[in-house]
Amino acid sequence: MTSEQATLAGGCFWCTEAIYNNVAGVSKVESGYTGGDVADPDYRSVCSGTTGHAEAVRLTYNPAEIGYGDLLDIFFATHDPTQLNRQGNDVGTQYRSAIFYEGDEQKKIAEASKKAAQANFDKPIVTEITKAETFYPAENYHQEFYFQNKTKNGYCKYIIEPKLKKLKLDH
């Protein structure tokens, strides 16, 4: 099986990870940090807003099962890409909307996807489209966060679950 990677930031990585863990053709979703200028960041430093990193997910997917453009359609449908440096109550540059492309083809698809998605929003989309850099995996307790905490964590119930329901309705 040939696999490819996509790196996306759409607010809190717990939400984005939970969404893509439910997508056919995606074999791995890893929460982490990217887009900044500090090596080996941790959650506390990223939350301080001083590292330049965004909370992001790195997807491993099979392009024969799901295309990069389809992954981006899900991305734009499951967060608000018109909010600058925030998603809802999560505020800061670490929660920005960004697509970190790997190669010219992904960049081209990302730009076209962003342009097409604009038709679904009244405000301008502020999603950054940036070349992928080093991806730093988040601490273990962030991996599979929704799956491990969905019955005991309010964020999972009130923030992540509605996004998962929206995904099921839209796709």
What residues are annotated to the active site? 12
Structure tokens at 51: 């590292």
State whether residue 58 is helix, strand or coil. strand
**How far is Cα 68 from Cα 63, in angstroms, rounded to an integer?**
7
State whether residue 42 is helix, strand or coil. coil
The C-alpha angle with vertex 41 and arms to 40 and 46, in degrees rounded to 5, equals 165
- For residue 128, the cross-strand partners are 98
Give 15-28 as a DSSP string. HHHHHHTTSTTEEE
